[in-house]
Amino acid sequence: MDLLAYIPSPSSGVIYLGPVPLRGYAFCIIIGVFVAVWLGGRRWVARGGRVGTVADIAVWAVPFGLVGGRLYHVITDYELYFTDGRDWVDAFKIWQGGLGIWGAIALGALGAWIGCRRRGIPLPAYADAIAPGIAFAQAIGRWGNWFNQELYGRETTLPWALKIDGDADAGRVAGTYHPTFLYESLWCIGVALLVIWADRRFKLGHGRAFALYVASYTVGRFWIEYLRVDDAHHVLGLRLNNWTSVVVFLAAVAYLVISAKKSPGREEIVEPAAVEDGADASGGPAPATATETGDGAPAGSGGAEETGAVAAEAEPSKKP
């Protein structure tokens, strides 16, 4: 019996629960957001922040990111919506696919900045906490392309080739193609693990963990983008997203270098309100540090000698 020599595609990206459509693309995005907020929240608390802060700021960042991702896609692929024979209303049908990560990160960062500013939190510290979660979210979100049978690569007969069904209306030709959605998903998982490791090993701070995520992602996106065969604008022989990857990579590396020189180390306090909470709970001033150690535990939670020193400083001096 012959073994299956390709990855099958779902016959439909929609399952109907009665009259309610459940779309695979939307589910992937939603699950990715939950994973990013959950992991980001754990990392934020480990750095000395409050429980729930990441989720509260995500209320600003996620909608901005979705709008930004859709805008980037619609602007760079405007001919899909605003040329003869096209319906501009389709530009609002986000469930059909089409979110540009560059626009999502740009406007998502704006939303996060608004949320951080309202809480008196430095955006770079917040970005460092959520960076691996964003990479994991991208890894999950890419499976939405599998449900929609879109954004695949060149034809191939490799055992892990993706089988695509023919659809003239969608511009699909039946065949087996490189599963670029899978390549990018696996790459994003690797990026997330790299950022977590480097953050623990080198105590990255002041936005450098996020910059490492951006630089690492763009390296993979460059070669994966090169494999894709969907219509795209080209500049000097390269797809637009290839050039975007190059520019963003250079900017991320420059930030890493400049930031390391100007602000070495990691922030001692990421959320002033959390320090005040600690002081209120103990009845005295809280320790001045809330950095994360190599194993993810807050600094200052070590031996009795350190605890005693803090207690001695917190106790008011007694006059005879």
Q: What is the SS3 assignment for 99-135?
A: CCHHHHHHHHHHHHHHHHHHHCCCHHHHHHHHHHHHH
Q: What's phi and psi for 45, nearest 5 deg?
A: -65, -40
Task: Return the residue matching tokens 């930031």.
Answer: 259
Q: Which residues are annotated as a binding site?
A: 142
What whole-number distance in Å separates Cα of residue 73 and Cα of residue 76?
Answer: 5
Which positions ≥6 away from 183 have C-beta within 8 Å? 153, 220, 224, 227
Residue 143: both structure tokens together: 């499976």
Task: Return the residue matching tokens 């540090």.
Answer: 289
Give the three-class secondary structure for 176. strand
Strand duo 14-17 + 162-164: pairing: unpaired
What whole-number distance in Å separates Cα of residue 289 and Cα of residue 291?
Answer: 6
Give the three-class secondary structure for 13. coil
Nearest to 220 by CA among 208, 232, 231, 228: 228
